[in-house]
Amino acid sequence: MTIAQIEEEIVSDFELFDDWSQKYEYIIEIGQQLPALDEKFKTDVYKIKGCQSSVWLNASQKDGLLFFEADSDSVFVKGEIALLIKVLSGRTPEEIMSAELKFIDAIGLRQHVAVTRANGLANMIKQIKAYALAHKER
Tens digits of residue pLDDT in 18-34: 899 999 999 999 999 99
| Portion of the chain with pLDDT greater than 90, in percent | 83
Fold of 3-136: Sufe protein. Chain: A (3.90.1010)
101 among known catalytic residues: no
CB neighbour list of residue 107: distance below 8 Å, 6 or more residues apart: 10, 11, 14, 23
Return mean pLDDT, the chain. Answer: 93
Question: Phi, psi at residue 70, to the nearest 5°?
Answer: -155, 170
For 74-77, the CB contacts below 8 A with 24+ separation are 75/28, 75/31, 75/32, 76/24, 76/27, 76/28, 76/31, 76/117, 77/31, 77/51, 77/53, 77/117, 77/120
Tens digit of each residue's pLDDT (9 = 90 or more) over 100-127: 999 999 999 988 877 667 888 999 999 9
Domains in the chain: boundaries: 3-136
Report the run of H or E that residue 124 belongs to, with start and end.
helix 115-136
Tens digit of each residue's pLDDT (9 = 90 or more) over 59-86: 999 999 999 999 999 999 999 999 999 9
Tens digit of each residue's pLDDT (9 = 90 or more) over 35-50: 999 999 999 999 999 8
Of 51, 55, 66, 83, which is the active-site residue? 51
Residues present in the chain in total: 138
